[in-house]
Structure 1
Amino acid sequence: MHVKSTLSERDICTKYITPAISKAGWDIQTQIREEVTFTAGRIIVRGKLHSRGTKKRADYVLYLKPNLPLAVIEAKDNKHSVGAGMQQAQSYADALEVPFVFSSNGDGFVFHDRTGLAPQVEQNLTLDQFPSPETLWQLYCEWKGLSTPESQKTVSTPYFDDGSGKTPRYYQLNAINRTIEAIAKGQDRILLVMATGTGKTYTAFQIIWRLWKSKTKKRILFLADRNILVDQTRTNDFKPFGAAMTKIEKRQANKAFEIYLSLYQAVTGTEEEKNIYKQFSPDFFDLVVIDECHRGSAAEDSAWRDILDYFSGATHIGLTATPKETKDVSNLKYFGDPVYSYSLKQGIDDGFLAPYKVIRIDIDKDLQGWRPSKGQADKQGQVIEDRIYNQKDFDKSLVLESRTELVAQKVTEYLTATDPFAKTIVFCENIDHAERMRQALVNLNPERVKENRKYIMRITGDEAEGKAELDNFIDPASRYPVIATTSKLMTTGVDAQTCKLVVLDQRIQSMTEFKQIIGRGTRINEDYGKFWFAIMDFKKATELFADPAFDGDPVQIYAPGEGQTPVPPDEEEAGQGPGASDTDLPSFEHETDGGEGEEGEKPIKYVIGNEVTVSVVAERVQYYGPDGKLITESLKDYTRKAVRKEFASLSDFLLRWNKADKKQALIEELESQGLLLGALADEVSKKQGKVFDPFDLICHVAFDQPPLTRAERAAQVKKKDVFAKYGDKARAVLDALLDKYADAGIESVEDIQILRLDPFSQIGTAPELIGAFGGKAEYLSALQMLENELYG
């Protein structure tokens, strides 16, 4: 007979908790999921390497159906109290948006009801009192206001699952369920805000699938503003709709389908006969989903207003990463507050989006300005207007060729030092600037271009060959092009999963555009080693990171007058010139070399040769901090503050360090809390020319202790001859461990698998080496002694 207090947490689950849940009527195959991991673990960058932080994992999640989580249970072993896991369970319930929370140690349950409908917020239950699925579903429906059989059927209809293993991530399921519930309760204008790279189209598919399958919505129109996006949607995420789906082409209105995909431009036009949407009756569609709803069409006839007003009786769902809020344009006024938001910061914290570092480079002429000498002419012989030219003018009304070459040089230096084949997008002011940047990069990379002329390509809306390479650039399996110079074409709608460097040589003042551009690098592709990315900023664009609007909740700032119905149309944001749209759209014909002056004439543009020199005034690297903001102070100051917040004194840190069974585990814990030890090591090593252990970095930077290198620490231990009590083979292993520590650090030493590698394999097999110490426990004890000597 087992003693409950001696059982592990997993045994408590198997012997007590699972049987109690099952006895209450929960189906173990379809309704009970154990050890549900729902985040990927934040990516922690260590120099050129990376690791993952702790993943969030719930011991149990209970579902009415796969799409509908109702409860979270946190289990503890019997040495803990029955309610010991409650606070942890509540944090998981917050993320998963479930109303019922349980904690158990195998003796019974503590039940926390977040709906407010139960007689008590928390109550103790015996193992036999666990509530049934029907009980919790009834409370859930009452809590959500789902009072009719129709609304309950809509909400409980499962999402699409083809058995491939691809199911919605937790935040996608939250977005889907929030939208479905809003529609079930009669809401007809809905906004979803999800950061770039978080799967808005897949989320939209699952929403449409459930509404379609439940027959809540029978005919659906999905609108996008890029042909490539419509085609990708049709062949990828929306493929399960099969024969029920069609793409609307111009002058074609086949009414025999149920799911319609369309470009704005395919259903609108200035001529009445081009307005194909009017071939459908106003009540034909009962759901319209608008992708990238902050943008709308670039046509001057307000295609947004025409289409949405015509189908005003339908439910409208807007999808965007960047809701547009200006004095003239308001997503929030049209759609209402978002029913769900998932931000870039949340995506990075969860490990679903890539973190970034910013390399800020300031050029002298950008900061100080430049003024021509009296009568000075440019390369075309034009006398340059006498005034001070600054960053607003460069590459628009005036070109400094030496500046272009300097930017190209810094980009080349970075790629050469990191990865010459890292996919890179260089955002330029206009097409002319993108072409000059391409030329400068080609001249600085002759060997790469000789290997393949497509190493560097200009991909802009005016040039067919460059646009033809867009698919190759975003295809992870395609090596070329590596560097793309562009203006507006690649700002949005480019799923560049392996983009590792985003270069900003474009003056950006629109928060919407800035978010979209940063989104080009936020996707993760583990198969191709893309876990983080760098932003190289030459035009102070990354100052927008400090704006609260960058990753905060959208705030409505436009209050319309009586009778006005603002929609997200084509107007540019305040202070911005006309934006260009994307692939194969008419609006791309308007992407010009720098804007047009009065009566359609281009503004005068001066081109200055290398007689005017430029130089870098300042260069610094900024890192993404744990609070979602860039760390603007020095890494040393930041580390000192962060460590001293955790440890009041050097003694506190040493006590924690020495008590840690595995030093690497403590290092990873500190890194997961935002300590940038990899970046700090690079900075300190660069200045002192030595490689230091994380222990020494922390003691030196936070507590002003003189640091020792790993080699110096290893040498000190060898001098002490502290291994005399061991036999020859064991001493050889310990000496090799010290050498490995000096070379690679404490992480490799603490991994017992190292005994299978050289030089250990030359001394003996792993079992033989462990046996030389007397067994595994004795080997680990010797390793602990070695660490104590290293850090004593």
Structure 2
Amino acid sequence: MIDKKTLSERDICTKFITPAIEKAGWDKTTQLLEEVSFTDGKIYVRGRLTARGKRKRADYILYYKPNIPIAIVEAKDNRHSVRAGLQQALDYAEILDIPCVFSSNGDGFVFHDRTATDGNIETELDIDSFPSPEELLKKYKQYKGIHTSEAQEVALQDYYFDGSGRSPRYYQQIAVNRTVEAVANGQGRILLVMATGTGKTYTAFQIIHRLWKSRAKKRILFLADRTALIDQTRRGDFKHFKDKMTIIKKKVVSRADGKEELVSNNKRGIDTEDKAYEVFLGLYQGLTNASDIEDAYKDFSPEFFDLIVIDECHRGSAKEDSAWREILRYFNKATHIGLTATPKETKEVSNIEYFGDPIYTYSLKQGIDDGFLAPYRVVRVNLNVDAEGWRPEQGKKDKDGKEVEDRVYNRKDFDKTLVIDERTQTVARKLTEFLKGYDRFAKTIVFCSDIDHAERMRFALSNLNADLVAKNHKYIMQITGDNDEGKRELDNFINPEETYPVIATTSELMTTGVDAQTCRVIVLDAEIKSMTKFKQIVGRGTRINEEFGKMFFTILDFRNVTDLFADKDFDGDPIRVKPVSEDTDLTNIVDEEQSIDSLIIDEETGEEIEIGTKIRYPEPQTRTSKVNEPRQKVYVNGVDVSVLISREMYFDTNGKPITTSLKDHTKELIKGQYASLDDFLARWNSTDKKEIIIKELEEQGVLVEALRDAVNREVDLFDLICHVAFEQPPLTRKERANNVKKRDYFTKYGDQARKVLETLLDKYADEGVTNIESMDILKVKPLTDYGSPLEIIKQFGSKAKYLEAVKELEQELYNTGA
């Protein structure tokens, strides 16, 4: 008879848990998935190198269908109790939105029922009493509020699978399921909040496909407000709709009387005569007109669409009085689903007022923690004129020869009302220096105050990078709404396969809808107060592209914009702030978002022509002055502009800036892990590979590489921790290595083995302990001078004895304690 206590956890799964679940009727090939990793593992940045943290992995996830996860089972070996895995399983179940939770040690199961309301929330089951798929489906339907056969048919509709092996990530699955279930239960307005880079369009496609295939929705309109978004959607995930999909466009036609008329491509009355198309992609600008021509959307009957998906719904359609909202009112009988990374909630504008609270939110922090989004480094650069302000000397004239108004100008004025040539040069020089020390071909977006600023920045950067511009003038491009040459290069900028352009200077055009997978540097040289806009800009860098080595990005901040990371609203759920009724105090309101009011649309192409941020003023009856005319800019030069300080900001595990010193923050984290120096020493000495301790510390939020920079890069990790957390005097690696050499403990080894260990000691002094722990060290010089790895190992007798010698070498390095 098998003694279960001697079996590993995997053996318990194979011999007892899996057979028990199969016996209950679960299909091992389609319903019973083992060792399911549902995150990619957080990316940790170590200087220029990156490392992945541990993936979250469930022992079992049970699916009724591939898109319907019903239960999670956490397994433990038989030396643990049957309940031992329950807490971890509950944590995973909450993340994965799963109602039925089980723990097992091979003797039986504990069932935690998240649908229970009668007090029987946890029950023990014997090993032969695991519930069947149909039993747990009932729990699932109860948990999801699916009470009718019609709703079940819609909610259980399959995903679209294209044979490539791609399937929704766990958060996309939750977003799709919750949305489809809400539609099945008759909810008319739905809001999904998903961080930039997490696949909103793919999620939208899966939602639409399931509702369309189940025939719950037969005519669907996907609305966006940028041509690039429509084109990306059509060529990307939506391509699977093939000939069932069309794009609604407007065009100019000549009438019989010789005049031109703007009409849509559905002027024939498509709602009654043409049933070929079922999925329509539409640009807001293609459905509404600024002229007196009838709005194109009225070519459709109000009942034509039964589902409208609004992409980037925080933009024009969020405004109650916008022309774009009129489209949604016209098709008010359809179900409306809003998608955004940044729901807009101000006193004037509210997504929540229109759509209701989000049915699911997947934030930037969650995406970074799960390893699906790239983490960011922030380098803050403070200029003297920004910090101290600039006051012109008496009689100072601008570049036109006019006297400059005598007052103190500050950061809010620069590049908006006052342009200092030397400030632009200093920013361009600092960016150039950064790229020269990092990677001159790192895709970079420079966000400027307006188009004029973007143009001047391109000019300054071109002169400072003349060598690369001479090889290809597209090394730096101005990509703004008014620049046709730049806009034509947008696709090349976001294409990972294309080298040029490398640097893009812009103002508004690239804040959203730009899928820049390999953008490695974002430069902030504009005043940004809008949290929505800030999130959108940060989102330009959050995509990961492992094939091209894009694992993190750097934000170079010249305007202290990254103060917004500390705002409680940066990564929280949206909170409605617009009153139900309001008596608005008419004060000047600067709309930081580029809205329909700040866009001129080319009606032939549907493209945006950017005219910058619009200032909306109150309009009392007595106002007659031309208040909407922008203030003329003043251009000056001959000003001393310099960098006061350039430093990297650090963030804790919650994504908030560390406001205390890095040392104090680290000390607090380490003491949370190790109560005393003795605790740390015991852990250090008992751990075979010190890299494990580094990973543990990083997962707790200790910034190991940053700490090395702050203390001394020549200091060992061991000394770094002992010094920072326990106030021990640190030794450098060379000092520790020399101490070992003085003790001459190598004499017990043969001549060749002794030379290998001495070389490893030198490697430790240069590179640190984690390198000598790797067998790969034997494949590099000067160790290769002693033979192949196999020949070197033979000098010690065996691989086990070689590893034992390395372990002993480590003990000698640290045997003096702290």
TM-score relative to the length of structure 2: 0.92
Q: Secondary structure, in 3 states, of the residue corresponding to 1:326?
A: coil
Q: 1:415 aligns to what? A: 435
Residue number among 763, 776, 781 corresponding to 1:740 in the alignment? 763
For residues 530-566 of structure 1, the C-alpha deviation after alignment (integer angstroms, 9 at most, x for no partner) is: 111111111121111111111111000112239x9x9
Q: Does 1:247 align with 2:247?
A: yes
Q: Which moved more, 1:579-588 or 1:19-28?
A: 579-588
Shift of 1:590: 4.5
Q: Which moved more, 1:429-438 or 1:370-379?
A: 370-379
Q: 1:69 aligns to what? A: 69
Q: Secondary structure, in 3 states, of the residue corresponding to 1:631?
A: coil
Query: Does the 8 A contact of 2:38 with 2:55 survive in 1?
Result: yes
Shift of 1:5: 2.0
Letter in 1 for 2:68: L
| Runs (5+) with no aligned partner, structure 2 | 251-263, 617-624
- Kindly tell me: are residues 389 and 32 of structure 1, through their superposed partners in 2, closer, same or farther at Cα, counting changes over 3 Å? same
Q: Does 1:544 align with 2:544?
A: no
Q: 1:512 aligns to what? A: 532
Residue number among 462, 476, 479 corresponding to 1:456 in the alignment? 476
2 CA distance for matches of 1:533 and 1:321? 19
1 CA distance for matches of 2:569 and 2:589? 14
2 CA distance for matches of 1:174 and 1:378? 59
Letter in 2 for 1:605: K
Q: 1:46 aligns to what? A: 46
2 CA distance for matches of 1:336 and 1:527? 39
Q: Secondary structure, in 3 states, of the residue corresponding to 2:747?
A: coil
1 CA distance for matches of 2:218 and 2:590? 40
Q: 1:200 aligns to what? A: 200
For residues 413-449 of structure 1, the C-alpha deviation after alignment (integer angstroms, 9 at most, x for no partner) is: 1111111111111111111111111111111112121
For residues 9-63 of structure 1, the C-alpha deviation after alignment (integer angstroms, 9 at most, x for no partner) is: 1121111111111110001111011111011111111111111111100011000
For residues 452-483 of structure 1, the C-alpha deviation after alignment (integer angstroms, 9 at most, x for no partner) is: 21111111111111111111111111111111
Aligned-residue identity in percent: 59
Q: Secondary structure, in 3 states, of the residue corresponding to 1:265?
A: helix
2 CA distance for matches of 1:274 and 1:544? 43
2 CA distance for matches of 1:136 and 1:312? 37
Query: Does the 8 A contact of 1:642 with 1:675 survive in 2?
Result: yes
1 CA distance for matches of 2:588 and 2:43? 35
Q: 1:669 aligns to what? A: 696
Query: Does the 8 A contact of 1:489 with 1:581 survive in 2?
Result: no
Letter in 2 for 1:526: E
Shift of 1:602: 4.4
Shift of 1:208: 0.6
Q: Secondary structure, in 3 states, of the residue corresponding to 1:501?
A: strand
Query: Does the 8 A contact of 2:345 with 2:352 survive in 1?
Result: yes
Q: Secondary structure, in 3 states, of the residue corresponding to 1:266?
A: helix
Q: 2:553 aligns to what? A: 533
Query: Does the 8 A contact of 2:82 with 2:108 survive in 1?
Result: yes
Query: Does the 8 A contact of 1:47 with 1:682 survive in 2?
Result: no
Q: Which moved more, 1:639-648 or 1:178-187?
A: 639-648
Letter in 2 for 1:180: V
Q: 1:605 aligns to what? A: 633
Shift of 1:623: 1.8
Letter in 2 for 1:182: A
For residues 720-750 of structure 1, the C-alpha deviation after alignment (integer angstroms, 9 at most, x for no partner) is: 2223222233323322322222222222211
For residues 323-353 of structure 1, the C-alpha deviation after alignment (integer angstroms, 9 at most, x for no partner) is: 0111111100100000000011111111111
Q: Does 1:652 align with 2:679?
A: yes
Shift of 1:583: 9.7
Query: Does the 8 A contact of 1:406 with 1:614 survive in 2?
Result: yes
Q: 1:679 aligns to what? A: 706
2 CA distance for matches of 1:72 and 1:370? 63
For residues 39-93 of structure 1, the C-alpha deviation after alignment (integer angstroms, 9 at most, x for no partner) is: 1111111111111111100011000001110011111122222221111111111
Q: 2:619 aligns to what? A: none
Shift of 1:300: 12
Letter in 1 for 2:492: N
Q: Secondary structure, in 3 states, of the residue corresponding to 1:589?
A: strand
Shift of 1:582: 10
Q: Does 1:755 align with 2:755?
A: no
2 CA distance for matches of 1:284 and 1:588? 28
Letter in 1 for 2:548: Y
- Kindly tell me: are residues 185 and 573 of structure 1, through their superposed partners in 2, closer, same or farther at Cα, counting changes over 3 Å? farther
Query: Does the 8 A contact of 2:417 with 2:634 survive in 1?
Result: yes
Q: Secondary structure, in 3 states, of the residue corresponding to 2:505?
A: strand
Q: 1:636 aligns to what? A: 663
1 CA distance for matches of 2:79 and 2:318? 65
Q: 1:704 aligns to what? A: 727
Letter in 1 for 2:644: V
Q: 2:754 aligns to what? A: 731
Shift of 1:587: 7.8
Query: Does the 8 A contact of 2:492 with 2:501 survive in 1?
Result: yes
Q: Does 1:776 align with 2:799?
A: yes
Letter in 1 for 2:754: R
Q: Which moved more, 1:735-744 or 1:42-51?
A: 735-744
Shift of 1:600: 6.3
Shift of 1:575: 5.5
Letter in 1 for 2:809: L
For residues 147-171 of structure 1, the C-alpha deviation after alignment (integer angstroms, 9 at most, x for no partner) is: 1111111111111111211111111
2 CA distance for matches of 1:465 and 1:36? 48
Shift of 1:401: 0.6
Shift of 1:601: 4.5
Shift of 1:652: 2.1
Q: Secondary structure, in 3 states, of the residue corresponding to 1:545?
A: helix
- Kindly tell me: are residues 590 and 232 of structure 1, through their superposed partners in 2, closer, same or farther at Cα, counting changes over 3 Å? closer
Q: 1:477 aligns to what? A: 497
Letter in 1 for 2:683: R
1 CA distance for matches of 2:30 and 2:247? 36
Q: 1:488 aligns to what? A: 508
Map 1:305-344; keep pairs closer than 5 Å. 305-344=325-364
For residues 297-328 of structure 1, the C-alpha deviation after alignment (integer angstroms, 9 at most, x for no partner) is: 69998232211011101110000011011111
Q: Which moved more, 1:575-584 or 1:58-67?
A: 575-584
Q: Secondary structure, in 3 states, of the residue corresponding to 1:341?
A: strand
Map 1:292-311; keep pairs closer than 5 Å. 292-296=312-316, 302-311=322-331
Letter in 1 for 2:409: Y
Query: Does the 8 A contact of 1:264 with 1:303 survive in 2?
Result: no
Shift of 1:586: 6.3
1 CA distance for matches of 2:515 and 2:600? 13
- Kindly tell me: are residues 595 and 95 of structure 1, through their superposed partners in 2, closer, same or farther at Cα, counting changes over 3 Å? closer
Q: Which moved more, 1:142-151 or 1:116-125?
A: 116-125
Map 1:564-575; keep pairs closer than 5 Å. none
- Kindly tell me: are residues 672 and 271 of structure 1, through their superposed partners in 2, closer, same or farther at Cα, counting changes over 3 Å? same
TM-score relative to the length of structure 1: 0.94
Letter in 1 for 2:741: K
Shift of 1:603: 2.2
Shift of 1:381: 0.9
- Kindly tell me: are residues 572 and 6 of structure 1, through their superposed partners in 2, closer, same or farther at Cα, counting changes over 3 Å? farther
Letter in 2 for 1:770: I
Query: Does the 8 A contact of 2:533 with 2:593 survive in 1?
Result: no
* More relative contact order, 1 or 2 (CA 8 Å, 6+ apart): 1
1 CA distance for matches of 2:97 and 2:679? 38
Query: Does the 8 A contact of 1:38 with 1:169 survive in 2?
Result: yes
| Runs (5+) with no aligned partner, structure 1 | none
2 CA distance for matches of 1:343 and 1:230? 24
2 CA distance for matches of 1:141 and 1:44? 39
Q: 1:786 aligns to what? A: 809
For residues 380-403 of structure 1, the C-alpha deviation after alignment (integer angstroms, 9 at most, x for no partner) is: 112212222211211111111111
Q: 1:142 aligns to what? A: 142
Query: Does the 8 A contact of 1:61 with 1:73 survive in 2?
Result: yes
Query: Does the 8 A contact of 1:227 with 1:583 survive in 2?
Result: no
1 CA distance for matches of 2:794 and 2:323? 77
Map 1:137-176; keep pairs closer than 5 Å. 137-176=137-176
1 CA distance for matches of 2:778 and 2:612? 63
- Kindly tell me: are residues 582 and 206 of structure 1, through their superposed partners in 2, closer, same or farther at Cα, counting changes over 3 Å? farther
2 CA distance for matches of 1:143 and 1:641? 41
Q: 1:213 aligns to what? A: 213
Q: 1:59 aligns to what? A: 59
Q: Secondary structure, in 3 states, of the residue corresponding to 1:238?
A: helix
Aligned residue pair count: 781
